[in-house]
Amino acid sequence: MSFEQVLFIIVSLILLASALGAVFARRIMHSALLAVAAFTGVGGIYAILGSHFLAVAQVLIYIGAVAIVLLFAVMLSQQREISGSNPVRKQKLWKNWVTWAAFGVGLVMVLYFTVNLATPTASQEIPLIHTEPATSLEGLSELLFREYLVPFELVSLLLLLVVIGAVVIARKENDPQ
Amino acid sequence: MVGGEVVLSLAWLIPVFPVLAWLIIGLSGRKMQNRGSGIAIPAVLISFLFSLAVLVQVAQGQSYHTSFTWLEWPGFQITFGFQVDPLAAMMLVVVTLVSLLVQIYSLGYMQGDSHYSRYYANLSLFTAAMLTLLLADNYLLLLIAWELVGLCSYLLIGHYFRNPGVPQAANKAFLTTRVGDFGFMIALMAIFNATGTFNFQEIFALAQTGAISQGTLVLVTAGLFLGAAGKSAQFPFQVWLPDAMAGPTPVSALIHAATMVAAGVYLIARSLPLYLVVPQVMQVVAWVGGITALLAAAVGLVVNDIKKVLAYSTISQLGYMMLGLGVGAFFPGVFHLMTHAFFKALLFLGAGSVIHAVHTQDMREMGGLGRRMPYTTLAFLAGSLALAGVFPFAGFYSKDSILAAVYASGNSVLFWMGVVAAILTAFYITRAVVLTFWHQPRSQGAEQAQESSPVMTVPLLILSGFALAAGWLGADFSGNILGGFLGTEFHLPRAIHHYVTRIATVAALGGIVLAIFTYLFRWFQPSVLTQRFPQCYQLLQQAYYFDRFYNRVFVTGTIRVAEFVAWFDQTVIDGLVNAVGRLGKNLALLIAKIDILLIDGFVVGFGHSVGRAGDRVRRWQNGLTANYLLSLVWAVLISILTFKLLG
Amino acid sequence: MIPLSWVLALAGLLFGIGLLGALLSTNAVRMLICIELMLNAVNINLVAFSRYQGQAHGEIVALFAMAIGAAEAAVGLAIFVAVARNSKVIDIDKINLLKW
């Protein structure tokens, strides 16, 4: 087991733990903070895998923007706390066999595929990700501004719209600003 | 001689005159009023004279027979015709004479009756029918005349139909004889089936050659006897005759004494060639006759209505005739038939005279009439002596011959039954005589009684003459003219004949004497006996409860059956029909309903089911986001699985 | 040299956790967090395959996904804030005006 693998395992464990915590935390604030930790973990994964740019982008976008917005929303919606919202819906859905069946099936599938991939067959070796060499920034930008130019422009338009829209939605009614 | 031939060939006219009389009187309706007798009596007179002429011809050895075809179809032929032979000729004279005398008598008796002409019309029709019966040469024509005679009996019994009980009596007579007629018709069918003809001569010829099977002959003779028993009021059909006394007395005299009831005897006498081949049936005839004679005579002892006494007497005497025929004695039976016609008609007309004068039929209210109605008394006495069988009156000879024949046949039981019946006959008729004519009047009606007018008494006296002399025609001392005339042989050893005669005379005189002691001298009181043996007395009074039995069994039974059938028809059949109707209607409604249900249901149901399905489906959108998400998850999973599995 | 399967397993688990949370939680914000988690898991997948192949296409797509996800989170949170002004507590089950 190489250093990278160990590192990978550690980071993924932290990630998963944070994710679990984010889901099952009693208070939203904790949940949001743990989400931040999860995002960080994901960024770490990207870095280990060799997508350095994406790792940085992850931190910038998610932790720098999404998490902030999350926290703002949490704070705005909790101005008067009333016995906290139940973390987990105590409803049929939790006891519902359909839900757990779905999970069961999904789990089986995931395990099957991963195990499939993890077992070496006669014809090929198990797939490995080569963490070195890392993705070059030049190559990325080449791709982005050449082949994916149109999507790039569209996404920027989308972002613009989203900003405007969010402002419109979130502002107060009687405020004609 | 030529004239004779003509007379005989026209013999069929004899019934025609009374028929014409009937038609004329009948069609004239109300216009006739009291003139009906003026038409009827001359008609009968002509018939009588004609019959005498015929008799003269037949006595000279002539006989006549003619027939014509009535119905014809392939293989079969029914002929009608008439025959004039000694038996028929004798009966023709008897019937027309008695009818004539009765009609003359009725001039007085029925005077003032509101339906005078109808009476004469019916009498004429009856006479015509009876004469046709006598002249018939085949069973079918005889049956037709037979039925016609029965009809006239019904009409005449029911003459006073507004009186209570009269219509029922007429019905009873008709229906009871009808039952017997059923047997007659069965016999006819059997005969025709076996021989293909109804003609007497042909049938007798076939019977004698043995061409008809024994079984058929038994059936035929039994059937004919059933008819005769019905008509002649033998047991068990005797119930109608006493009730028939509800008709006018002259009717009783003519029909129920002399002629119609004699038709049964006549039928048996005519058919004797058939009976001679089936001795077992003859035994039955003899026994029925004997039993009837005895039992009916016994009833005559206790009845108080003078006409009913004579009715039971008639039944009894007819029994004697059947008894005679039953032992194969053609001559005695027919002989007694002739003498009985005269003296019984006499007795009835005499009783009618009494009733006409006293205005009652109950002998307990009579008495002392001997002084007041001498001619009637004389006539009645003559008839009584004839009936009792006292020498030298007519009944003596005829009854005597019957008893002798029975004795000679070897059946001692029957013989002594006849003897006892003779005793009883003498007794009851003497009783009637004494009660009616002797002692003091027991009612005002009897006190004020007067002798009837000559128009009634003259026929009485004429008949008295016959009651006395008629028997002499068949007596031995006169060489048995009648027997020779009829062409029968009747010889018995002198010893037997004397023996029987002595016994018969003792019986008759004994009965008379006993009655005289009881009723005239009043040495015995009948009430002693009636009190000692009340059931016996009741039994006789009620005529062996035949009426009650028949009523309960047949009349009530028929009514019950009719009620049941009516109920059945109404409840079951109508119910069934109604049910079917209802079924049809309900079926139609049901189909309509199904139609509506089905078709509309289909269409509407379709819409509804779509609505309901949509209703169920829309509940998916419960507003729960998590649910939507779950659905998504599932959809993805299933798609992946499907694609993976399908490769 | 990290086995591909490990990364895929990680992504799958992360996705599952996120999904679980999305299904079971009533709070809108928590739900959004879970959705973000799911998005991240998908991105990990994309990057893994991209790095495995040596091509950068997957990374580009992941980048776009990140951007859009952020945008969507912003809008969603804007909505939730608007709703939360009235009730203060955002129960996802109560936002059901579009239900039948």
Burial (Cβ within 10 Å: 0-12, 13-18, ≥19) of residue A119: exposed
CB < 8 Å to B624, chain C: 92-93, 96
Tokens at A35, concatenated:
């989400």
User: Is A40 inside any structural domain?
Assistant: yes
Burial (Cβ within 10 Å: 0-12, 13-18, ≥19) of residue A30: middle
Q: Kindly report, residue by residue over B13-39, the tens digit of the pLDDT.
A: 888 888 888 888 888 777 767 777 788
Check whether residue A95 and residue A35 sit in a common domain: yes
Using CB atoms, pick whichever of B621, B625, B629 lies closest to residue C100.
B621
Residues 603-622 of B with CB under 8 A from C: 618-619, 621-622
Q: Summarize the confidence of residues A152-170 as an average pLDDT.
A: 91
Query: CA of B299: how far to CAs of B304, B311, B388, B562, in Å?
Result: 11, 10, 16, 34
- pLDDT tops 80 at residue A173: no
- pLDDT tops 70 at residue C97: no
Minimal C-alpha gap between B626 and chain A (Å): 8
Q: Is B126:B471 a contact under the CB 8 Å cutoff? A: no
d(CA A114, CA A112): 6
Q: What is the pLDDT of residue B580?
A: 86
Tokens at A17, concatenated:
């733990």
Minimal C-alpha gap between C19 and chain B (Å): 9
CB < 8 Å to C35, chain A: none
Interface membership of B634 toward A (CB under 8 Å) = yes
- pLDDT tops 50 at residue A17: yes
Residues 72-111 of A with CB under 8 A from B: 89, 93, 98-99, 102, 105-106, 109
Q: Is B285:B333 a contact under the CB 8 Å cutoff? A: no
pLDDT-based confidence at C33, cuts 50/70/90? very high
Which helix (H) or strand (E) segment holds residue A139: the answer is helix A137-146
Domain with A151 in it: 134-177
CB < 8 Å to A99, chain C: 23-24
At B15 the three-state DSSP class reads coil
Check whether residue A74 and residue A150 sit in a common domain: no
ipTM summary value: 0.87
Which helix (H) or strand (E) segment holds residue A128: the answer is strand A128-129
**CB–CB contacts below 8 A, A to C:** 250
Which CATH number is A27's domain given? Answer: 1.20.120.1200
Would the CA dihedral through B522, B527, B532, B537 be positive or negative?
Answer: positive
Task: Identify the CA nearest to A124 among candidates B95, C3, B6.
Answer: C3
Tell the residue number behind the tokens 């419960």, with chain if given.
Answer: B622
- pLDDT tops 60 at residue A82: no
Q: Which residue has the higher pLDDT, B481 or B327?
A: B327
State what percent of residues in chain C have pLDDT above 90: 39
Check whether residue A18 and residue A86 sit in a common domain: yes
Rama region for B334: left / alpha / beta (φ>0; ψ in -120 to 50; rest): alpha
Domains in chain C and their CATH numbers? 4-94 (1.10.287.3510)
8 Å CB contact of A61 and C75: no
Q: Summarize the confidence of residues B485-503 as an average pLDDT.
A: 74
Helix, strand, coil share (%) of chain C residues, nearest 5 = 80, 5, 15
Tokens at B638, concatenated:
């299933």
- Report the DSSP beta bridge partners of residue B260: none
d(CA B490, CA B501): 15
- Report the DSSP beta bridge partners of residue B71: B78
Q: Kindly report, residue by residue over B85-113, the tens digit of the pLDDT.
A: 888 888 888 899 999 999 999 888 888 88
Check whether residue A6 and residue A85 sit in a common domain: yes
- Report the DSSP beta bridge partners of residue B76: B73
User: Is A11 inside any structural domain?
Assistant: yes
d(CA B26, CA B36): 9
User: Is A120 inside any structural domain?
Assistant: no
Q: What is the pLDDT of residue B411?
A: 81
CB < 8 Å to C11, chain A: none
- pLDDT tops 60 at residue A176: no
Q: What is the pLDDT of residue B511?
A: 87
d(CA C45, CA A117): 14
At C2 the three-state DSSP class reads strand
Check whether residue A68 and residue A153 sit in a common domain: no
The C-alpha angle with vertex A17 and arms to A11 and A19, in degrees rounded to 5, equals: 100
Q: Provide the number of structural domains found in chain A.
A: 2
Q: What is the pLDDT of residue C93?
A: 63
Domain end residue (candidates: A67, A86, A105): A105
Q: Summarize the confidence of residues B414-429 as an average pLDDT.
A: 90
Q: Kindly report, residue by residue over B429-440, the tens digit of the pLDDT.
A: 998 998 888 888
- pLDDT tops 90 at residue B271: no
Q: Which residue has the higher pLDDT, B487 or C19?
A: C19
Q: Kindly report, residue by residue over B172-190, the tens digit of the pLDDT.
A: 889 888 888 999 999 988 8
* Average confidence score pLDDT of chain B: 83
Q: Summarize the confidence of residues C30-57 as an average pLDDT.
A: 91
Q: Find which of A21-35, A120-134, B185-199 is predicted with most confidence, using mean pLDDT.
A: A21-35
- pLDDT tops 60 at residue B405: yes
Check whether residue A89 and residue A148 sit in a common domain: no
User: Is A128 inside any structural domain?
Assistant: no
E strands, B239-337, are none
Check whether residue A71 and residue A142 sit in a common domain: no
Would the CA dihedral through C26, C32, C36, C39 be positive or negative?
Answer: positive
8 Å CB contact of C74 and A31: no
State what percent of residues in chain B have pLDDT above 70: 94
Please count the CA atoms within 13 angstroms of the CA of B359 that sit on its side-chain side.
7
Q: Find which of A22-26, A150-154, B16-20 is predicted with most confidence, using mean pLDDT.
A: A150-154
Check whether residue A33 and residue A82 sit in a common domain: yes
d(CA C52, CA A26): 39
SS (H, E, C) B131-186: HHHHHECEHHHHHHHHHHHHHHHHHHHHHHCCCCCHHHHHHHHHHHHHHHHHHHHH
Nearest CA in chain C to A151: C64
Q: What is the pLDDT of residue C62?
A: 94
Task: Identify the CA nearest to B421 among candidates B406, B436, B434.
Answer: B406
Q: Kindly report, residue by residue over A102-127, the tens digit of the pLDDT.
A: 778 878 887 787 777 767 665 566 67
Task: Identify the CA nearest to B177 among candidates B201, B196, B154.
Answer: B154
Q: What is the pLDDT of residue A122?
A: 56
Please count the CA atoms within 13 angstroms of the CA of B463 that sit on its side-chain side.
41
- pLDDT tops 60 at residue A95: no
Nearest CA in chain A to C62: A54
Tokens at B118, concatenated:
């109808």
Check whether residue A88 and residue A156 sit in a common domain: no
Q: Find which of A80-94, B318-332, B570-584 is predicted with most confidence, using mean pLDDT.
A: B318-332
8 Å CB contact of B634 and A102: yes
Residues 11-30 of C with CB under 8 A from A: 12-14, 16-21, 23-30
Q: Is C76:A66 a contact under the CB 8 Å cutoff? A: no
Q: Summarize the confidence of residues B556-571 as an average pLDDT.
A: 84
Nearest CA in chain A to C9: A114
Query: CA of B146: how far to CAs of A117, B129, B256, B645, in Å?
Result: 128, 7, 14, 111
State what percent of residues in chain A have pLDDT above 70: 80
8 Å CB contact of B623 and C95: yes
User: Is A118 inside any structural domain?
Assistant: no
Q: Kindly report, residue by residue over B130-151, the tens digit of the pLDDT.
A: 999 998 888 888 999 999 999 9
pLDDT-based confidence at A157, cuts 50/70/90? very high
Query: CA of B273: how far to CAs of B130, B134, B143, B221, B276, in Å?
Result: 22, 17, 18, 10, 5
d(CA B133, CA B197): 18
Q: Is A24:A88 a contact under the CB 8 Å cutoff? A: yes
Check whether residue A6 and residue A69 sit in a common domain: yes
At B69 the three-state DSSP class reads strand
B151 Cβ partners below 8 Å, 6+ apart? B129, B174
Check whether residue A12 and residue A88 sit in a common domain: yes
- pLDDT tops 60 at residue B208: yes
Q: Is B358:B365 a contact under the CB 8 Å cutoff? A: yes
User: Is A113 inside any structural domain?
Assistant: no
Pick from B95-99, B159-163, B260-264, B427-431: least confident = B260-264
User: Is A81 inside any structural domain?
Assistant: yes
- pLDDT tops 60 at residue A177: no
Q: Is B9:B64 a contact under the CB 8 Å cutoff? A: yes
Q: What is the pLDDT of residue C4?
A: 84
Please count the CA atoms within 13 angstroms of the CA of B381 that sit on its side-chain side.
11
User: Is A54 inside any structural domain?
Assistant: yes
pLDDT-based confidence at A81, cuts 50/70/90? very low
Q: Is B177:B230 a contact under the CB 8 Å cutoff? A: yes
Q: What is the pLDDT of residue B15?
A: 85
- pLDDT tops 60 at residue A86: no
Query: CA of B279: how far to CAs of A128, B190, B283, B285, C83, in Å?
Result: 139, 19, 6, 10, 132
Nearest CA in chain B to A92: B627
Q: Is C22:C38 a contact under the CB 8 Å cutoff? A: yes
Nearest CA in chain A to B626: A93
8 Å CB contact of C19 and B633: yes
- pLDDT tops 60 at residue A84: no
Check whether residue A98 and residue A152 sit in a common domain: no
